[in-house]
Structure 1
């Protein structure tokens, strides 16, 4: 059975009730919960639905973890006895994928494929089977395009996507998918315009995020009727792959934003979206709402009209677009494009007007948290509209925050960073620094995150150039939190070049087949230490990190093998001198480390010498002009 048939069987036939009741992009009326039950809850723990799901998931992850640890060839260690008899609870593994457009999606795809035994070579040269032992899976922006694509397509594999050849056809930009065929492109935008008109005619606001989400759906949901126009995020909880707990629990991360502002600070409200809920752990909101009923008019969680609830607002493409509202980033990127003169003024004025009109953000109206009694910030719950934006705007581009909540008991996080922090579009640890600092802010709310150094140390000590463990010894972390909460051990793996220069621009919107496969393959090599050639014991070392928190809870000493691994991969607290010049640390050697050679060679041909950001062969201003022309045709009133 091919992928399309599998999806129709697994989703369309078995979970029709979770789709939009209008069978279109427009939300529509559905029955409210019995007895007008509240759809809102206080964020004093994980939901009963999530708790039940995770408990059942552990029945799969425990056995999968034993298999992985055995295959990792860990010495002086009885995996089966440790997992099934020694531990006082199941180990919670989480995997997080950063934002960064298609670069993050494709690198992340390669990295996840290295954990998946369905990938050719993952068992022999990778970390195959680890994704089966994973409890939580988070994605943000481009990272969530990857997570969402796999999750909403019957938990398909990256290998299947590459072999099937329909999903992720990136040869042409989503702004002009027809290439030189302008009629195909016009038809594409007409379909999107019609979808938006359906939602608007149903009485709901639309924004650029609606168009963005529908464009993404044309890339990710080709096997659904009308490219997933009626597909909802809550559909997933009725799908067999989720209800039988054969995939990790997916979480989308996005940020709240005050209308009219363009910068998100460390005190912003971080939102998460699961198949069950939308909400935030932050004191500013501290509430969650049932995602299936978004669009319903609520007052402190209860439907104002018990016979008029709404379904279909949580469109899957719209949720994925909410986590990646890149249009507002044009304002932040405009100064780096090389655009000058009247053209610069024209685009800047237009984008400024878009921001003022709040069209560059995702509009959730009516506000599902209206008059919530749990929120600490009145401006959020007194407004009739909730505004959400790209989850990386608060600089936490790796979506770690949901995994730090003590209620989730996460033991270890594999943090894949495909950010573009440096001038050459490589990561420099900035996301981890932002997450570390946030725990001390008013929004920290009892979360803890291991000590990390500044970005200069990340680069100078090669912490981005090979896997680095943070929080290796829990005894050194107890002072981070007044209640002594121990954070997860974090395994940080940053994008770097092995077989391919994968530092493409965040705004590169088209990839040839060779480019796509080149980035994915390189992502596999990042996760596997170049197919285990740089360290034949890398899988065992990762196994040592996975079991560490469980050992510490049971006061079990590490084996000699694990001690050696931790000596190799744990950050030891060293810092570089304040006057260290790290500006040349951009070229990579075959061992995975960086050097400060005078002639840096780590830049990709996707960034030219002047620093102008490219969109897969056309410069950024050309794409912006194309977008402006499109917007002139499509009304967003």
Structure 2
């Protein structure tokens, strides 16, 4: 394999981390400034993020220049790269990792490794350096397990993960199910569940509401933070601020995504409030909240961002595993299936005694209490005030609204991205392959009540994704800004990279909760190959085409000349605007038809790509929400019962 991993020294976490003040899972009181305000209006980026970006921009500028020079070295004219740097119009990149359980985590890891210059072979046979060039890296559900465990393990690499195979502290050792982590060692499993029970009960005893997400997050953490005491029992999300690798901006800015659920409801759709967590804050850009809160002081009783008790805050609520579990709450259902498994009655008793104390009404909800946004005034006047009036904030799996790739945080105009790499490991089809449903949902979001300030390129319907094979190889969307003038503004170009079979059947069930070492390696390898056109053997010029996509927005803004090789790239990889079940190009917002043309250094040539589309789904296969929820819940009793019954 070209991408085999070379030895790298083991991860050593910085020692200056700001752990939970209780040195346990339970939050605790801390002193804070008398005039502290923990909430701000979402009127732009936070000062912390803005200052951090200055350092990251300097880092990515050099990394991206190196990638573009290498990718365009065989172009007949690569002067555009020099023009961009001379004009200080350096493109800005983001990467989004979809949900999809361990399938998304493992396949996504292979995809990221292909973009990581720390992976041997990635520069020569892949897209090495893109990850170093990325400003933002967002994850959702299983994709957040990937992003979170890499970032919060001192920005380790997939290469290092593979090199540490077989060690006692191996990251992502999921050879045994999360329900039976000790395998045949019943006492080991019992001990771990006993520790989980003690940790969550300690949070309860400290006066905080708990849910199954606390149990789920604690259980996950043993696989995500194996070098830390009891899987990072006192390890907090805000700890990353004190890590040198983050402080020095040597890694992308990590973002986790979850959905809000209005109090007293069970509905999650595109009208739901979309929340993001980053190392500095959590909150939402949506007009239904329009606010962010300091993530370090979650758990503090506040009114309009001011602590109810002056000078007293709470810290330690932002447990890293709890936040990673928040983005994947649908997996809580695994913890409810104890009676369908062959676990010993002893272990079932330990887990069951604790779970029976948790309300069944909150099976798939993470409870943030006290509500960090209580009484804030930033909600748009025509929106329900129920979120800010509630004592609790309820969050659920980030994919429940149908947007299984976390794109919305990176579409914010203030983040000013030129291109987003959308890594899709969803299970949109009956065979567990992706089929663009997340892109369709995000496209539709911009025209709904929560779409204020959003713009997203036109995309086709489900049938076209499948019938035209757009879900089986990388595809570019939004290649020509002149065809996007009906949108509120010009959105980033989307490089869609779906999971597809290369060397391994990576379409494993979302419910598959254990992978052997060899299976994990095969998932990594196939992910690498899926985003590199099979190690660049299917298209030796693919890295150059990715370079064209990266430069496109800045080239358009400068009215500069593209290398002639980009014309063929865009003809090969840009969606041509055609629908497989229609005779014309029609958008879901009305009639708009266009063709794409590229000015090259040889001539002005009309390409075949158009960015007009219909994303209507009425004639398509199940919507993303239907795929995500029906696949999880309707088939749950048969599929999950069968899988877990084999444990």
Q: Same fold (TM over 0.5)?
A: yes
| CA separation of 1:455 and 1:80: change in aligned 2, threshold 3 A | closer
Equivalent position of 1:97 in the other structure = 97
After the TM superposition, which residues 324-363 of structure 1 pair with which residues of structure 2 at under 5 Å, given as runs?
A: 324-327=328-331, 357-363=361-367
Are 1:413 and 2:420 counterparts? yes
After the TM superposition, which residues 63-78 of structure 1 pair with which residues of structure 2 at under 5 Å, given as runs?
A: 63-74=62-73, 75=75, 76-78=77-79
For the residues of structure 2 that align with 1:31 and 1:612, how far apart are their CA atoms? 43
Cα contact 2:457–2:477 (8 A) shared by 1: yes
For the residues of structure 2 that align with 1:479 and 1:622, how far apart are their CA atoms? 49
Equivalent position of 2:564 in the other structure = 560
Deviation at 1:201, TM superposition (A): 1.2
Question: What CA deviation, in whole Å up to 9, does each residue of 1:164-202 have, x standing for no partner?
Answer: 121111110011011122211111100100111111111
For the residues of structure 1 that align with 2:643 and 2:333, how far apart are their CA atoms? 14
Deviation at 1:86, TM superposition (A): 2.2
Cα contact 2:212–2:362 (8 A) shared by 1: no
Equivalent position of 1:50 in the other structure = 49
For the residues of structure 2 that align with 1:626 and 1:303, how far apart are their CA atoms? 50
Equivalent position of 1:395 in the other structure = 402
SS in 1 for 2:562: coil
After the TM superposition, which residues 25-424 of structure 1 pair with which residues of structure 2 at under 5 Å, given as runs?
A: 25-32=25-32, 34-74=33-73, 75=75, 76-78=77-79, 81-88=82-89, 90-165=90-165, 166-259=170-263, 261-327=265-331, 357-376=361-380, 377-424=384-431
Equivalent position of 1:539 in the other structure = 543
| CA separation of 1:128 and 1:262: change in aligned 2, threshold 3 A | same
Equivalent position of 1:605 in the other structure = none
> Of 477, 486, 496, which residue of structure 2 is paired with 1:470?
477
For the residues of structure 1 that align with 2:359 and 2:445, how far apart are their CA atoms? 26
For the residues of structure 1 that align with 2:400 and 2:107, how far apart are their CA atoms? 20
Are 1:620 and 2:640 counterparts? yes
SS in 2 for 1:64: helix
Q: Which deviates the most, 464-473 or 72-81?
A: 72-81
SS in 1 for 2:362: coil
Taking structure 2 as the reference length, what is the TM-score of the superposition?
Answer: 0.84
SS in 2 for 1:173: coil
- Unaligned 5+ runs, structure 2: 1-6, 338-354, 584-630
SS in 2 for 1:234: helix
For the residues of structure 1 that align with 2:357 and 2:199, how far apart are their CA atoms? 24
For the residues of structure 2 that align with 1:577 and 1:320, how far apart are their CA atoms? 40
| CA separation of 1:307 and 1:332: change in aligned 2, threshold 3 A | closer
For the residues of structure 2 that align with 1:332 and 1:217, how far apart are their CA atoms? 19
For the residues of structure 2 that align with 1:506 and 1:199, how far apart are their CA atoms? 30
For the residues of structure 2 that align with 1:352 and 1:201, how far apart are their CA atoms? 17
| CA separation of 1:43 and 1:433: change in aligned 2, threshold 3 A | same
| CA separation of 1:212 and 1:3: change in aligned 2, threshold 3 A | farther
Deviation at 1:357, TM superposition (A): 2.3
For the residues of structure 1 that align with 2:183 and 2:563, how far apart are their CA atoms? 58
For the residues of structure 2 that align with 1:7 and 1:202, how far apart are their CA atoms? 31
Cα contact 2:10–2:160 (8 A) shared by 1: no
Question: What CA deviation, in whole Å up to 9, does each residue of 1:441-495 have, x standing for no partner?
Answer: 01001200000010001111111111111000111112111xxx11000000110
Alpha-carbon RMSD across the aligned residues, in angstroms, is 2.5
| CA separation of 1:478 and 1:619: change in aligned 2, threshold 3 A | closer
Deviation at 1:225, TM superposition (A): 2.1
For the residues of structure 1 that align with 2:332 and 2:245, how far apart are their CA atoms? 35
Equivalent position of 1:592 in the other structure = none
Deviation at 1:6, TM superposition (A): 4.2
- How many residues align? The count is 566
Equivalent position of 1:479 in the other structure = 486
SS in 2 for 1:437: helix
| CA separation of 1:384 and 1:623: change in aligned 2, threshold 3 A | farther
Cα contact 2:327–2:397 (8 A) shared by 1: yes
Question: What CA deviation, in whole Å up to 9, does each residue of 1:286-325 have, x standing for no partner?
Answer: 0000000000011001111123200010000000000000
Equivalent position of 2:527 in the other structure = 523
Question: What CA deviation, in whole Å up to 9, does each residue of 1:393-447 have, x standing for no partner?
Answer: 0000011010111111011000010000100000111000000000000100120
Equivalent position of 2:12 in the other structure = 7
SS in 2 for 1:480: coil
SS in 1 for 2:476: strand
| CA separation of 1:327 and 1:262: change in aligned 2, threshold 3 A | farther
Are 1:577 and 2:592 counterparts? no
For the residues of structure 1 that align with 2:447 and 2:404, how far apart are their CA atoms? 18
Deviation at 1:274, TM superposition (A): 0.2
| CA separation of 1:498 and 1:5: change in aligned 2, threshold 3 A | closer
Equivalent position of 1:503 in the other structure = 507
SS in 2 for 1:357: helix
Deviation at 1:327, TM superposition (A): 3.8
SS in 2 for 1:272: strand
Cα contact 1:280–1:288 (8 A) shared by 2: yes
Equivalent position of 1:457 in the other structure = 464
- Unaligned 5+ runs, structure 1: 334-350, 580-610, 628-637
| CA separation of 1:353 and 1:269: change in aligned 2, threshold 3 A | farther
| CA separation of 1:219 and 1:3: change in aligned 2, threshold 3 A | farther
Deviation at 1:561, TM superposition (A): 0.5
| CA separation of 1:451 and 1:371: change in aligned 2, threshold 3 A | same
| CA separation of 1:624 and 1:384: change in aligned 2, threshold 3 A | farther
Cα contact 1:62–1:83 (8 A) shared by 2: no
Question: What CA deviation, in whole Å up to 9, does each residue of 1:261-308 have, x standing for no partner?
Answer: 444111000000000010000000000000000000110011111232
Question: What CA deviation, in whole Å up to 9, does each residue of 1:320-360 have, x standing for no partner?
Answer: 00000024667999xxxxxxxxxxxxxxxxx9997752242
SS in 2 for 1:288: strand
SS in 1 for 2:486: helix
For the residues of structure 2 that align with 1:387 and 1:619, how far apart are their CA atoms? 28
Equivalent position of 1:597 in the other structure = none
Question: What CA deviation, in whole Å up to 9, does each residue of 1:243-271 have, x standing for no partner?
Answer: 00100000000000135544411100000
